[in-house]
Structure 1
């Protein structure tokens, strides 16, 4: 479902149709056909959508070793019976979460799970696609923690948070996310870290270090954030994304990529001699402490890109990147990068294009993120919007990373 509107459109109700038919909701707020950036974005996405390969008339079933039961399924489809999910069309760019319950005590060293999708290809052939997974079992909690995947845990709780938000409201969803991360850390501390080692600090195994930050990003995402200023259409569209985005895009959506461009290494924005891929600058933490007034930055959550121009940006930098010396001449808001003969302009354009290359992340997506130019001393609402992506900062009614970690430390100990 493609929704364009300058007024309120009730995305919350309309998005139910794609939710139960294996579809997706694409929302274009403030769209204007006369603006070339808007028209090109939609034309690119819609043609990509129409030409993408999909499966038709599909059903998905997950089976597992005796003793395991598929308890709940999350994602966009119709749950026809307890373990059969129906898809009129099977997309190539969504994620699904299946919650597995342990019904009987398992004695074998391995358990197996198998996902099968029966579908018709675009050419009318009936096929089955099967994926099988064998997982070792363990009796020790430390092995469970050591092999846990923080990305998968975050994806699972984002689906659960959306379900909770739709059923019980946003406050309940935020609280559930917070309670879960505290529970995970408390159990680790109590059972595996000897109770109070390290004077009450937060301990987690290295493979789960990012969990608190990812959960903070989830709570501060537009879909779940505590704020009175978010229109319900924008919120509903964000909740649709939180419950469908493939894993790499989902992680970027709740913890965006943040690159410093004015001082990027010499090889950034140029093809890697070995792989031929454009090299990206090292990502920075999402905190305004990283922003210097003379800098140029890219903030990218996979759905929107912001090019941040500092208030003291020097004319030479502006001339190199945008072809103007005075930043008052820069067009703020939705824009596209000018194509200039300068080497630095080419490198910045290469970084911007590479950052939105979802195929390099190994996932399908038709979204071509629009770019907004934000001047630090310019349009306040634009600046505020870009700053909401800096999830480690304190904003609106949200806490900063330091406050969040302090609160977790208190609750866990």
Structure 2
């Protein structure tokens, strides 16, 4: 069995596919991965002996579209990844995509006639009468009326998908001999998307509109030891507070300053992770330590709290470690995860992406409360770790059933 896993996104999109690839390989499948050619991702896949097929530009160089015209150009660029994805999928039995790889990957699977699945890591992206869609409006378009219910908002969401992406997507499909699509959102997510998120952290309410396969989060085990200098810092005092914004970019260094001052105000030491945001220390005092690439699964068990951007992977890792969280959402699905952390009582959601000393001090006061720690500790034992294994078996079983139907 040969499987191609395809994604275009940040570390939070790539690492879960590596977890799935490891499980698929353990079941005897041959796996290759399409992903952006960022050095971080090359190193990650190489660590697990997985071949990387580079697609598109490095994610670090991508700029968020600021207009409908730019969004349409981005859709055209993503659809144009078809050639690389289709070449990588040649001879494969199945293709699973995540992130922004849907434009090229679903068309490639359709052209090659192979089994296709799409996975997302946050339920708020999927149409449902039980929640509103992500905020999404066209430039110059009036805001929906306050009386609009979830159904009306999702209808508007579908229209926006068609307006932003329909022309570019269908132009490319025509160029490779595929018919047009009239519902881009359904094309993107399919009518049976996989939800690779923990059921406790991200519950899904069943809806007749979608047949969602809720596999659990795809967690990549990390057995790397922590660096000696980091261990020495951890052992030199009380557990510190971790601060990092992951793959978020164009973040003001004022965030690091506000975080360190707020942490010091709580009488705590600080661990500052640079990440893609480039956060750094603000002085040379010995109560702060700069963290590079490290095993978060181990590290988060040793900290007093985790201040982070609210990526799906970081939220799940902190929850599994029993670490109280302060989520400072920057974009995309991060406000959703901030809300879930607050609703579960395992931390707090910061209001907006730009914290001040005062706002972070208040948030840390909640996160460092013993009751928050107790709730976080209790919830940690409920986080499932078998999501990638479940998904790997489901995928291979689905391909096997398809083969049997063809043979019959």
TM interval, short-chain normalised: under 0.3
Specify which structure has the higher proportion of helix.
2
Larger Rg belongs to: 1
Q: TM-score, normalised by structure 1?
A: 0.25
